[in-house]
Amino acid sequence: MRATASANSNIAIIKYWGQRDEKLVLPSNSSISFTMDGQLSTKTTVEFDRLLAKDGLVLDGAPAKDNETARVSAFLDLVRKKAGITARAKVVSSNTFPKSAGLASSASGFAALAAAASKAAGLDLGQKELSMLARRGSGSASRSIFGGCVEWRAGKKKDGTDCYAEQLSPPGKWRDLRNVIAISSMDEKKVGSAAGMKVSAKTSSLFAARLGAVEKRLALVRRAVRERDFEAMAPVIMQESDSMHAVMLDSWPPIVYLNETSFRIMRLVRELNESHGKYAAAYTFDAGPNAHVYTIARYAPEIRKALAELSGVMKIMECGIGEGVRFV
């Protein structure tokens, strides 16, 4: 009753910010992301053992905090229920990037956990079912089951049976797409995503307007991905990030994830695009200040250099597009 799986993180270009069902983790809108390469990866081993009194979690070589273990244990309860078992489990998980790098690990973490735990429990789930299971741990994890470009469909059904991710294009299709990551803070976020989106849905007058705009952006991005049209995709990526962060700021109390360096990076990308006379890069920010600058490989060295010279940038990484979850 032991299995190991590995999954990569993903960075959304059409964002998930709002839930239509909190318990089932059903989003208010569909979202689209690219799965990153192995530089942003989590490997997790799950072993169910009837002799264990409780679930245990070792994260990056050390016993996890109580709240982290409780979240994993609640997720394992879903797997146990599905498999009809009661045994507790030992979970050992490690990230290829430091947890303190300020890069979210819940997408890769829960995708790897869903695959390893379901297999260790004797379940043989297809990718769609794995995506639905991973979703219950962390919404964005539903997308990390697949490689390449992925759409997580919000669905309409109350029971969530039409809410899962699907691959829009395989990892090999857009080989020269890059995400240049500029880290400007390694702090853990003060407002968790789930809590933050709840506040936004309740208090932001821009929240509903954003949902209206997202449908059009989804259609534009689907087409741009199909045609590998970076120039068409770039402005949508930036508008979408700006729109989500506007909703956050419009929430009460305001939710502010961006810092001064984030704004400097936004300006830098706009100036860089102006100097090229076309869209060579597009920034996007998640629930944190670190920038994800999508670009094409030939512009990456120039972008890395410009970002490295910017005050407040602590570390730069360059990711390509990667694979979905796999068993080790």
Residues forming contacts to ligand 2P0 in the complex (CB under 6 A) are 12, 15-17, 31, 104, 106-107, 138-140, 192-194, 286-287
Measured from the CB atom, the residue of 42 and 138 that comes closer to ligand 2P0 is 138
Measured from the CB atom, the residue of 4 and 138 that comes closer to ligand 2P0 is 138
Min CB(192)–ligand 2P0 separation in Å: 5
Min CB(284)–ligand 2P0 separation in Å: 9
Integer Cα distance of 257 and 184 in angstroms: 12
Measure CA 70 to chain center. 21
Cis-peptide into 171, omega within 30 deg:
no
Token pair belonging to 4: 């190991």
Largest CA distance in the chain: 65
Measured from the CB atom, the residue of 83 and 209 that comes closer to ligand 2P0 is 209
Min CB(158)–ligand 2P0 separation in Å: 20
Residues 6 or more apart in contact with residue 325 via CB below 8 angstroms = 5, 6, 7, 111, 112, 114, 115, 130, 144, 145
Min CB(19)–ligand 2P0 separation in Å: 10
Measured from the CB atom, the residue of 107 and 303 that comes closer to ligand 2P0 is 107
Phi, psi dihedral angles at 236 (to 5 degrees) = -65, -40
Integer Cα distance of 105 and 112 in angstroms: 11
Residue reference for tokens 């797997």: 79
Integer Cα distance of 172 and 204 in angstroms: 39
Measured from the CB atom, the residue of 26 and 303 that comes closer to ligand 2P0 is 26
Measured from the CB atom, the residue of 11 and 272 that comes closer to ligand 2P0 is 11
H helix or E strand, kind and range, residue 57? strand 56-59
CB 105 within 8 A of CB 149: no
- What value, to the nearest 5°, has the Cα angle with vertex 210 and ends 324 and 11? 20
Min CB(128)–ligand 2P0 separation in Å: 18
Min CB(302)–ligand 2P0 separation in Å: 27
- Return the sign of the alpha-carbon dihedral for residues 173, 37, 143, 126: positive
Min CB(10)–ligand 2P0 separation in Å: 7
Integer Cα distance of 279 and 234 in angstroms: 6
Measured from the CB atom, the residue of 139 and 320 that comes closer to ligand 2P0 is 139
Any idea what DSSP says for residue 297? Answer: G
